[in-house]
Amino acid sequence: MGEFMGRKVNLFLVLMIIIVVLGMGALSIYYQRTFKDVNQEYNELSEQNAACQLNLSTTVNKLQTTIKNLNSTESDIRKYDTLYEQKAQELQDTEKSLNDVKTKLQSETLFKEQFKRQAEQYYSQVQVLNANVSSLEKTLKNKDFLIDTLQTKVDCLEDTSDGNEDEC
């Protein structure tokens, strides 16, 4: 019986060793496959990560370029806003100046019209006065002629004797 038990124990131990070796082999194969799958997944994720990093780097460069352009555009907008405000102020000043000139022109036009009316009135008065002068000159000539005639008659009357006065 001792032998039988010793054999059973030995057989049991051999069986246990075989089971342990088979288990270790199965675990080794399982872990090898799992490691291979994990390693393959790691490589795929590593490639995806590299692609993502490249994409991120490209996107960051594009973003930096866009930010530069945006800053430049913002600077240009500020510059044009300042220029617009300056030109708007100049336009207001020009409009005010234009309105002042327009008001002055209207005033000058009104003054010109008044001056023109006065000039026409004075011209009419000058014509009337010239007509009066002409009339007075004619009257003066007539009076001078009459004076000369009367002076001649007076001279004649003075030179003639009292009885011959009818000859003058």
Q: What is the pLDDT of residues 23-58, one digit of tens each?
A: 999 999 988 888 888 889 999 999 999 999 999 999
The C-alpha atoms of residue 146 and residue 149 are separated, in whole angstroms, by 5
The C-alpha atoms of residue 126 and residue 148 are separated, in whole angstroms, by 31
CB 153 within 8 A of CB 165: no
Q: What is the pLDDT of residue 12?
A: 84
> What is the pTM assigned to this prediction?
0.42
Using 50 as the pLDDT threshold, list the residues of the chain that sit under it.
Answer: none
Q: What is the pLDDT of residue 2?
A: 53
Say which residue the tokens 């270790």 belong to: 24
Instruction: For residue 152, give both structure tokens.
Output: 């001649």
Say which residue the tokens 């246990």 belong to: 16
